[in-house]
Amino acid sequence: MLVGSAKDAGAAAHAATSRRIDLLVERRGFSEVHAYLVYGVVINLLSSQVVNEPMFTDSAEMPKHVLPREKLF
């Protein structure tokens, strides 16, 4: 799960999702297009905090079972 905060709810959602896309590209070797496609299908985007105006916090999560297994050693 990754979290993004901003003064606008849309910007908070964008921050949370773009971080996940970056991680899929950098750490898992996905192309940017494939990362967007996979994440667009399985994303669970949650509003985590809306009470402390003007900040909004959104959480973007993705189930691990949709990712290929990583070789650890």
CATH number (3.30.70.141, 3.40.50.620, 2.60.40.1730, 3.10.28.20) of 2-64 reads 3.10.28.20
- Domain edges within the chain: 2-64
pTM over 0.75: no
Q: Provide the residue-wise pLDDT of the chain in tens; the chain has 73 residues.
A: 778 888 888 888 888 888 888 888 998 888 999 988 888 888 888 787 777 678 888 888 888 888 877 777 7
Structure tokens at 42: 């399985």
Pairing of strands 44-49, 2-6: unpaired
Most distant CA pair in the chain: distance in Å? 46
